[in-house]
Amino acid sequence: AVDGAMNRLEAAFINRDRADSVAAEGEAAWYDRVADRATTLYPRLQRPRGERFSNPTSGRGYSCEEVDDLLDRIAAYFDEAEELTANEIRTATFRPKRGKKAYAEGPVDAYLARAIEILLAVD
């Protein structure tokens, strides 16, 4: 229930930001702003699988293979208009791995949060 409320609150803030921006600058400016944010995602999407994020310095991280699978879906969303929802990204889970088979969790989480923000902004 708490997660659902937080998700609705996040969507409400983005919708409010959109409404304020469109009222002040117009819809084209809003989409330009979202497009600028979306381009910040591309550099990682273009990196080879297994090299998109750093490995954890110690302990466990997220499975590189599973994170890369989700990033491939994000790339397909942008490049080929494949279906993908913010909720699919939000609820994605990754098995724990160690060493070179893992990505550090913090950067992955931050990246996915930005992707969710962008998907909600164009929804």
Half-sphere exposure (CA, 13 Å, Cβ side) for 23? 6
Q: Give per-residue pLDDT as tens, 62-116.
A: 999 999 999 999 999 988 889 999 999 999 999 999 999 999 999 999 999 999 9
Q: Is the pLDDT higher at 20 or at 121?
A: 121
Residue 47 DSSP label:
S
Question: Beta strands 60-63 and 96-98: pairing type?
Answer: antiparallel
Split at pLDDT 50, 70, 90, the class of 30 is low
| pTM of the predicted protein model | 0.80
Spell out the domain ranges in the chain: 2-122
- The Cα–Cα gap between 52 and 44 comes to 5
Q: What pLDDT does 2 receive?
A: 59
Residue 96 DSSP label:
E
